[in-house]
Chains A and B, each alone.
Chain A
Amino acid sequence: MSTVIAEGVIRVTNNCKACDHCTTICPTGAINGLLGQKHHIDPRLCVNCGQCLINCPFGAISDASSVDLVRQALNDSNKMVVVQEAPAVRVALGEEFGLAPGTNVKSQMYAALRKLGFDRVYDTEFTADLTIMEEGTELIHRVFNALGVEGFESSGPLPQFTSCCPAWIKYAEDKYPLILPHISSAKSPQQMFGPVAKTYGAEKLQADPADMIVVSVMPCTAKKYECDRQEMIASGFKDVDYVITTRELAEMIKADGIDFLNLADEDADKFIGLSTGAATIFGATGGVMEAALRTAYEILSEETLDKVEFEAVRGLAPVREATVEIPVKALGSRLPVHVCVVTGLKHVDSVIEDVLAGRSKYHFIEVMNCPGGCINGGGQPIRRDTY
């Protein structure tokens, strides 16, 4: 099945100066155009990552916007509008208000969202933790199956790839269908939040899920594509209604004249809003891996880690690998777990080909499309000062 939704979410505008910079940035070679002519994007190849958009020196590339639809929902008193925000948003949103990159504005972000009129402010970090529970358990089952432990025969093959990045998923579906059984069946945190909010969340709020609107604030343009995927209807409704980017949230805050920097600190709402440090680091490359290792180690060993940091999977190198020895209590032996982290789709092909050829020694592989992870996503503040 083709994963192309209409024309994709990334568009080249008439401001294109045909400088060709984007064609060197694009991870899939989706952009083409003759010298001196406006470039165009092939939606079959485009993974909607928006790297071309944030790197265009002329600001000539734009993304489809749902801001008007979000405003409409906020103004409709019959709708219960709830919002989730990805980890990477909170350390970049401040840049739109003059703060240095990396400044944590989580508490002001919650406050600003309430001022904008959202009825409940939750956090994607809650479902990032849920992702670790589901994806981590799936990984443990796959490892047990590979070791021949009884009762796990229906588990998929090793290595397991992460499934959080919608650009990576589309790339794999389009280019490497044979690798799909290796990708975790767990949804991304954004797409876990939608059905959780419209079932469990609706119960807690005593709301009719038909009247609920789930909005995401994401550092990512591919998330706009992901929420429109036709299978994302597990709640019986469209799971996530609209996605806006970090940039679009900043525009909404400015348009409403909210004094962002002087907002009082607020917390997320309860039941599906509490987050942990493990979920926070999802926004950086290697973060999903590190969060998964923290949980897998403690659950398998039944011990508590003195030091939760796994420095070996951190950093900005495109491909990093590490081996973590986990004393597995149920097996009574130490299991060396080989992991790999890939950031930038341009570097994933050789890793996939090793897996398909049976040469890969890894158990778990994290793949994120954008160099550096979601913090450098296509929906993040644009650093024009670097040009």
Chain B
Amino acid sequence: MGIFKEKEGFTRRQFLKGSAILAVTVVVTGVFAKFGVDIYKASDDYIAERAQGLYTLDESMAIRRSHKNPEIAQIYQEFLSPGGVNPVSEKAHHLLHTRYGKDIPALIEELEHHDENHAA
């Protein structure tokens, strides 16, 4: 009877089979994990590269401060606040500022009648 009794523990064949499955699992998981990490990294990389593009362009510009833009000074002096550079002037407020949420219907009403009010 003893000749049909299986040996205790792992056979060499079972051991090889087990370790092969383990090895394949590790490799496959690793490849997918690497894939995932790459996607994550790649997606951040292009954002950082575009940002760097803007910062490099900024460094190359002759003028790097908004208030030193000569066309900005010109539009205030000639149009938005004649004679000076005065932000939030009446005209600047009309053209360049807005309102939000429940204040919008009143703003639309004012804008639609702006010309009449100013003619009057």
Contacts and interface: CB of A to CB of B under 8 A. Distances in A.
Residue of B42, B46, B59 contacting most chain A CB atoms (<10 Å): B46
Contacts of B48: 316, 372
Contacts of B98: 163, 185-187, 191, 231-232
A189 to B, nearest CB: 10
Contact of A106 (B57, B95, B104): B57
A299 B67 contact: yes
A183 interface: yes
B65 A308 contact: yes
Interface in A127-155: 128-130, 132-134, 136-138, 141
A250 B60 CA distance: 25
A16 interface: no
Given A130-B75, A231-B104, A373-B51, A276 B56 contact: no
A294 B66 contact: yes
A368 to B, nearest CB: 12
Given A132-B66, A234-B95, A298-B67, A101 B114 contact: no
Contacts of B50: 88, 91-92, 101-102, 283-284, 372, 375-376, 380
Interface stretch (B8-16, B21-29, B105-113): B105-113
Residue of A203, A305, A372 contacting most chain B CB atoms (<10 Å): A372
Given A133-B72, A233-B111, A386-B46, A277 B64 contact: yes
Interface residues of B, number: 59
B33 interface: no
Given A177-B102, A274-B69, A386-B39, A375 B95 contact: no
B101 A192 contact: no
Given A200-B79, A233-B112, A277-B59, A1 B74 contact: no
Given A371-B47, A385-B42, A271 B74 contact: yes
Given A1-B105, A173-B100, A376-B47, A200 B75 contact: yes
Contacts of A351: none
A253 interface: no
B57 A280 contact: yes
A278 B99 contact: no
Contacts of A236: 114-115
Contacts of A387: 39
A130 B96 contact: yes
A172 interface: yes
A72 to B, nearest CB: 27
A235 interface: yes
Nearest to A276: B63
B65 A91 contact: no
B40 to A, nearest CB: 9
A103 B71 contact: no
B67 to A, nearest CB: 5
Interface in B64-85: 64-72, 74-76, 78-80
B7 interface: no
B58 A281 contact: yes
B87 interface: yes
Residue of B52, B65, B68, B104 contacting most chain A CB atoms (<10 Å): B65
A276 B87 contact: no
A299 B70 CA distance: 16
A271 B71 contact: yes
A100 B104 contact: no
Interface in A225-243: 230-236
B71 A274 contact: yes
Given A200-B80, A284-B51, 15 more contacts: A3-B101, A126-B71, A129-B67, A130-B72, A173-B100, A195-B95, A234-B94, A236-B115, A276-B61, A276-B66, A277-B60, A278-B58, A284-B50, A291-B66, A373-B51
23 contacts: A1-B102, A91-B50, A91-B54, A102-B51, A126-B71, A130-B66, A132-B67, A133-B66, A133-B87, A138-B88, A180-B103, A236-B115, A274-B70, A275-B69, A276-B65, A277-B63, A278-B64, A280-B57, A281-B54, A294-B64, A316-B47, A375-B54, A386-B39
Q: Which 4 A-B pairs have the closest CB atoms?
A: A102-B53, A91-B53, A277-B64, A277-B58
Interface of B: 38-39, 42-61, 63-72, 74-76, 78-80, 87-88, 92, 94-105, 107-108, 111-112, 114-115
